[in-house]
Every structure is written in structure tokens, then in C-alpha cells.
Amino acid sequence: MTYKNFTIETDADGIALVTWDMPDKSMNVFTVEVMDEIEKIVDQTVADANVKGVVFTSGKKTFSGGADLTMIKGMFSMLEEEKAKDPDGAVRKLFDAAGRMTWLWRKIETCGKPWVAAINGTCMGGAFELSLACHGRVASNAKSVKLALPEVKVGIFPGAGGTQRVARLANTQDALQMMTTGSSLTAARAKAMNLVHQVVEPDQLISAAKQMIKDGLKPVAPWDEKGFKVPGGGIWTPASAQLWPAASAILRRETAGNYPAALAILKCVYEGLQVPFDTGLRIEQRYFTQVVQTKEAFGMIRSLFVSMQELGKGARRPAGVEKTELKKVGVVGAGFMGASIAYVTAAAGIPVVLIDRDIEAASKGKSVSEGLVAGAVGKGRMSKEDGEKLLALITPSADYASLSDANLVVEAVFEDREVKKAVIEAVEAVLPEGSIFASNTSTLPITGLAKNSKRPAQFIGVHFFSPVEKMMLTEVILGKETGDKALAVALDYVAAIKKTPIVVNDTRGFYVNRCVFRYINEAYDMLAEGVPAVMIENAAKFAGMPVGPLSLNDEVAVDLSQKIMRASIADLGEASVKPEHMKLIDKMVDELDRRGRKNGKGFYEYPAKPAKKFLWPGLKALYPQQKPENVSVKTLQDRLLVTIALEAARTMEEGIVTDPREADVGSILGFGFAPYTGGTLSYIDGMGVKTFVKLCEKLAASYGDHFKPTPLLLEMAAKGETFYGRFDPYGQVEKAA
């Protein structure tokens, strides 16, 4: 029998080597077709008396990243369509669909012939669950091998036996930590946790897997044997009596109860370890069916799985523009941002020239990359040879003529129009005719900067976030005259350096910073009202934000807030900034020299390590303080999330952001907007626009007109619309095609 996605070769010892190698795919993923073929392979190998055992491996560099986009989207589409016809029947169908993988893996586990997974690279999600259902697991010791059950990061949890098998192989504490954080394991760590049997050299992977079968590997899972005991003794032990209350408390502390999937993992393990294995699988299937129906799962999967992949693959790239192979990139400005941009460019294998006013400044910029490489080599994340190759791609220079053959130049100099004007003119004097100029600016409108260019159609904004090597998001900003080629080249570059792009039209602060400063400004209002600073910060964390607004302001620098406010007043007039905000920040910067983390004092104090930062006690003296019992934490949470979401809605209304996927993904990756919501617009859609409008009106009555719902929101509420319905990104793609 032949298969589209698999090959089977049976050797003289009767061992069938099943190799998963999907045509036209860079990585193996689960689709309905793949599942059907695996089931046929199980039946075929069981029926064939000549087959004594099976080794399951990948023909690609990686094993598998898990489920395919279409499979995930298909599950949600089915649920939506069926619920309209038969709500109870829809849940039953969802339950059955959720169990397809579970019971197919169980079929492998109980087929009567030994299966060994030979893991040669990234093995995540359902693929790792398949491996756990095999009777033996051998992993390569290559650095590329990562094993994980990361589903919680996209709002669901390991629902194909993961919660039951990991908890029966590893000790309970390690199992819970692995699954509730979604963290990746090296092959060595997986072996230490008893999740992998052997770790071998890459060229010995298949032979070692076959040898396990030759050595008499039993085709029975440990939990199917009489007398099996859970590591640590199970639930009813003194150790468990200490573990479970602590685990629940830690989960509450880390998630504030915002992630149903994380809580479901605890329930699956706690309940599943008290019953027979098959019953545990049913419990897991039941909880998975419940979690998939939550708005958190829907929003997170859509934004953090589906939309992120679509945007990363060029969903906004103009059609008909040939892909650019970047042979050389120039970066002008060797300060921390420019130096970091040079690093990620070289890390992508692209030669880069790093320009500054003199060779000393440019070389100092390259030293940033040298430090990053040294750190990566020291931690074992990069080989010394790879580090040397990366650094060899970065050429420091003070000569603009070295940009004469660059496909793209990224300007990353000081946020000053005159400084940028001089750089634009110097670069364009040597830049080839078809090359693109990109400005890395965080505040200055691209259209205004492009007025200094002789070729505004080839001028674009590419806004990086700090630290560049860690932040996944890049804003690509279109000026009024930016052409399709500039956009295509910018998106090709962002894809090459493995960032996720969002495309926005030109405005002050673009998209992310507009939302960020609304968040910070709301905290200024709260301080002025006398809300204790610790309540502001904690309310933000309870709402799902990674850091409080005052902490975030310290990170971006309090004096930067001052510069932005003053620039807004200069350009837009006094009414553009609240006087009390300006007064607060002027006092912090000019009177108290509290500029944020960079000078060791801002809204927080930054003592010498290892001591942790703490809120500056002097904040209490700035305004008369309210009694904590008189302040509603829920209202603080609402204010912080609603003010950001309202700003996101305004950017859609103004045509700054045109695709709801970009608003959602940009808000999560850019500044960590409560990921469980799926992003700013999913937050609104999730509660319903009508409900959101009522909440805005309630907040506006108590806390100011900046909470008033916009005309677009009022119209959408009246029509019962959603952002994803009104601004359907898939409809736009179809029309464009």
C-alpha cells in the first residue's frame, strides 16, 4: 500500500520503518489526511505477520510541530456551523472530533506490536503525544531537538493523552510545570524526566530505535501492566497533600484565573491519576471539549496560532511583486537599537554594513553583537563556529559608499528630524536606484520623514521593539507615497529575520505606541485620583498584563514620555496632553531626576542586585491617597484594558490599522496585552461590541470623556457587528485575489 505522506520500508528483521515526509511542506503537520493514513498504517502493520515492530520517524529536519492551521480552523468552523443547527449535537461532534487523535494514539499503544518513536528535531503538541503513546522513544542529541506540549500558550491543553501519559511517566510536579508553562525540553531533560528512553547521536537514531525492538521491547504501556504505580505514589500520599494546594496557589498567582486551559491541566491530572487510564483519557477529552468552547481558547488560537502564522507567511504582502533575496543590508546608526538590528540581520545569514559617524562608533556597535554571541555560546545556544560566522557578516564602517550595493538600508539614528534628514540625504546619494530606505522610528510620522527623500515610493518605516533580539514584533509603516515594492521588500526582510510583521498606515505613535501610552496615561489618572500605586500595578497583572503601567513606563523611560508629550503639544497644541499628566512627568524628570530604570530611579527604585525593584515610596506623597478598601480592583482592571482596546478601535476607525489580525497580534507581541483575550479587538468581540459600549459609557461617566465609545463602535453595537465580521481579513484577501 502506498501513502501520500508516509513511506514504509520493512527490513530483514521484520522492522517497519515508517517515515513521515509531507510533500510541499517544510514541516510535518497533522491534517485529517495524515490522521487517516496513520490509522491505515497501524492496521496494515498489525495485519502483516512479517512485521515484528514499527519505528516511526520524520524524513524532514524536524519531527513535527503539531496540528495544521486548516485542521484547527476546521474544528472551530464546524462548531460554529453546527451550533446554529443543533447546539447539543454540535458539542457531541466536537467531543468526538477532540477524541480522534486520543483514541488513534491509544490504538497504537494497544496494537500488540512494539512501536518506537525516533525523534530527530522539534517534536511538539500532538506529535509528542504520539511519541508518548509509542512503547519506546529515542531522541537525537542534536541541539535542534526540542520536545514540548505548548498548547497552553494558545489557549488549549494537551488533549491527545498528554496530561495522562506525562503524569504517569514523570513526577507530578515536573509534569504540571511542563504542561502549564508549555516549556520546551532538551532531549537530555526529557530523558531525566523519564519521557524519553535513550538519547543518541543523530546518525545512530534509527539503528538505536530498531535495536530496542530487537532487544525485545514489550508492546505494552507501563500503565497497562498489573501493579503499575504512579511516580511518587499518586494522589493520596503525604507528598501530594503538600503539592496540590501549592500547585493551585502558584497557578492562581501566575495566571490570576484568566487561563481556563491551565486550570484544566490540573484537573485532568488530579482526576485522571485516580482512575484507570482509559477513564483518564475520557476525563481529558471532556475537559478539552469544554476548554475549546471558551472565548479564551477561540481568541488565543485565532491570534497566537492562526493569525501569527498567516502574517508571518506574508498575508499582507502585495501580490505580483517578486520576492527579494537580500544580499546586503545597511544599518545606519550603531547605537543600541541599530547594533541590535545588525545582529538579527546577520543571525539570518544576511551580510550587513553597520554605519556610524566614525569607525570607532561603528566598531563599538559591532561589540553589542559580540556580547550577544558570547552570551549565546556560553549558554550552549550557539556553537563557537556559528558565532564567528555571524560576526563575520557584520562590517563596521564610517563610509556611506559601502552602501552602494545594498538592497535595503535601515536608519536607526537619534529621534530627531534634522539628524534623520541628514542621514536620508547621505544614504540616497549612494543607494542603488531600486533599493529601499527604511526608517526605524518609534514616534516620527513616516510621511513627514519621506519629504526629505527624492524617492518617497521607496521609503518605508520599519519599527523594531527593544530588545530587538527577543521581541517578535515589527511594525511596518506605510507613508502616503510608499509603494508596493517597498512594502514587499520590508516584509521579505522581516520574514528573513524571523519576526512577525504588522502593516500600519502613518500616524503619530503608529499602532503599538498609541496603545501603550493610553495604558500609561490611565495610570497617571489613577495616581492623580489617589489610587495607591501598588493597586494600579497589581490590578494590571490581575487583568492579564505582563507588567504594570508604571513599571512599563520606567522601562521605556520617563523622560521619553516627557519628550513625546512636549512634541505632541508643539505639533498638536496644549489640548493634546492633559495638564496634570505634564505636571506629574515634569516633576518626576526635572525636579526629582526620576527617569526610569536607566538611571536607577523612576516610579520604582532599583537597588543593587540581587535585591529586587520596589515601588518608590515617595509616590504616596504626590497625591492624597484613597483608602484601598474604597477602590474597586475590578474597575481598575476594566479601565486599563478598556482604554487600550478603545485606542485600538480608534486606529481601525481612522484606517491606521486595516486588518483586525494585526491589531490583535500587534497588541500581544508588542506590549503583552492580556493574551488570554486574543488581543485588543478580540477582547471587544469576545464580550460583544454592545456590552463593550455600555462598559465604555459607564467608565466615561465616572472617569472622563476619553472612555466615550467612538462613532464606529456605536454603529457596530447598533448593527450587532464584530470587528472580524466588519473588517473580515479573509474576505479582503479573496476580493484582492
Burial tier of 416 (Cβ tally within 10 Å: 0-12, 13-18, 19+): exposed
Instruction: Name residues whose C-beta falls within 8 Å of residue 457's C-beta, 6 or more positions apart in sequence.
Output: 481, 482, 483, 485, 486
Quick one: which H or E segment has residue 201? none
Residue 258 C-alpha from the chain's centroid: 17
Contact (Cβ atoms closer than 8 angstroms) between residue 517 and residue 481: no
Contact (Cβ atoms closer than 8 angstroms) between residue 441 and residue 415: yes
For residue 460, the cross-strand partners are 438
For residue 7, the cross-strand partners are 19
Per DSSP, the three-state class of 17 is: strand
Instruction: Name residues whose C-beta falls within 8 Å of residue 192's C-beta, 6 or more positions apart in sequence.
Output: none
Contact (Cβ atoms closer than 8 angstroms) between residue 199 and residue 191: yes
Considering the candidates 135, 197, 463, 581, report the single residue annotated as catalytic: 463
What does each C-alpha distance from 710 to 700, 707, 716 come to in angstroms? 12, 9, 10
CA angle 397, 398, 399 (to 5 degrees): 95
Q: 380: alpha, beta or left, given left = phi > 0 and alpha = psi -120 to 50?
A: left
Quick one: which H or E segment has residue 655? none
Instruction: Show the 3-state SS of 323-390.
Output: CCCCCCEEEECCCHHHHHHHHHHHHCCCCEEEECCCHHHHHHHHHHHHHHHHHHHHCCCCCHHHHHHH
280-283 contacts at long range (C-beta below 8 A, 24 or more positions apart):
280/163, 280/164, 281/102, 281/103, 281/106, 281/161, 281/164
The DSSP bridge pattern shows strands 29-30 and 6-10 to be unpaired
CA dihedral sign, ordered 252, 258, 259, 260: positive
HSE of 680, CA atoms in CB hemisphere, 13 A: 34
Is 135 considered catalytic here?
Answer: no
HSE of 374, CA atoms in CB hemisphere, 13 A: 6
Contact (Cβ atoms closer than 8 angstroms) between residue 315 and residue 482: no
For residue 16, the cross-strand partners are 10, 54
What does each C-alpha distance from 240 to 173, 245, 267 come to in angstroms? 9, 9, 14
Per DSSP, the three-state class of 191 is: helix
Per DSSP, the three-state class of 156 is: coil
**ω into 467 cis (within 30 of 0):** yes
CA dihedral sign, ordered 211, 215, 219, 223: negative
Which has the closest alpha carbon to 196: 184, 187, 207, 205?
Answer: 187
Which has the closest alpha carbon to 313: 468, 464, 501, 472?
Answer: 501
Catalytic residue annotation: 463
